[in-house]
Structure 1
């Protein structure tokens, strides 16, 4: 599940405005490479919307089934606002609806089951049975 935690107004190239929703996943514990200590964090992603400001305000706090996942993209520059440090990133965090996650998981299970000869029966693989 992800939660809508905010929204922001943006402008299109033609000058018209629209709103994006800020989504946040559940809490995760991450180990700091610098200190060796765990810290709490949550992944965030932004999705465009067709909603007006009033609707966006009303949606804050709502939950949606899905997750925020890392997606590889073409390299781009990113500046950390607090320090001014510029980084080159090759990923973005994107929202993936639960139905997409479920379909991917089912496809993976189907692929594994199609290759069921790799599984053993009583400690002897099917490949060994075929050789006999």
Structure 2
């Protein structure tokens, strides 16, 4: 009887005791040590941060490459347009190499006069 009285006297204090954590019981299957759980959570958050940083770097790198390619395309377009304005192809009236004629036959004018054998010796005549 004495034990029963002591037990009933201590019963109200049992309410203040910590409840048993059934989720993290070392005797249950799947138990994880709290420190390992914290470390795993930290590592997962670091991985998420690193993934975000890598995605941002990839976006930035892609944008830089696209800008560089666009600049190259603009420069090349500009060069082609300027080249078309400056360098107009000359008309080929005599057929060129396809004609089969020699330079003398084709009627082309030369900047230098045609030389003949002995011209260098007879400089005084010119």
Q: Which of the five TM-score ranges fits, normalised by the shorter chain? A: under 0.3
> Greater RCO between the two (CA within 8 Å, min separation 6)?
1
Which structure dedicates a bigger proportion of its chain to strand?
1
TM-score normalised by length of structure 2: 0.26
Larger Rg: 2
